[in-house]
Amino acid sequence: HYNTKVQRELLQHIEETGGEGQLLVCDGFEELNKQEITQCSLFLDIIHGKVLPNCSVIVTSRPYASQMLQQMSRITHHVEIVGFTKEQIKECIRRNITDKPK
């Protein structure tokens, strides 16, 4: 169970400092549709630096949704992490999932 006094004090500190020294991670941006994004004014205000302007923000997304993120004004870096190819997936499964007892 969370201590609400501690939560209030933490949120007050973050607000007073504008988020300086804080890292906010928003995972799964691609799971939101355009309507949900535009309706979430707090998310947009943080992304555009209107709220917590000194906070660092990391937003994760699948490649197909990254173009919308790149159009947002506060985005300063774009990093693409490439996953496994189909052949690499097969090889990983072959090496690690066997019927052999260990």
How far apart are the C-alpha atoms of 22 and 14, rounded to whole Å? 8
pLDDT tens digit string along 9-47? 888 888 889 888 888 888 888 888 878 877 778 888 888
pTM of the predicted model, to two decimals?
0.62
Instruction: Give pLDDT, residue 101.
Output: 52
Percent of the chain with pLDDT over 70: 90
Instruction: Give pLDDT, residue 57.
Output: 86
How far apart are the C-alpha atoms of 54 and 23, rounded to whole Å? 10
Question: Which residue reads 């999932």 in tokens?
Answer: 97
Instruction: Give pLDDT, residue 74.
Output: 67
pLDDT tens digit string along 48-94? 888 888 888 888 888 777 777 777 766 777 777 778 888 988 887 78
Instruction: Give pLDDT, residue 47.
Output: 82
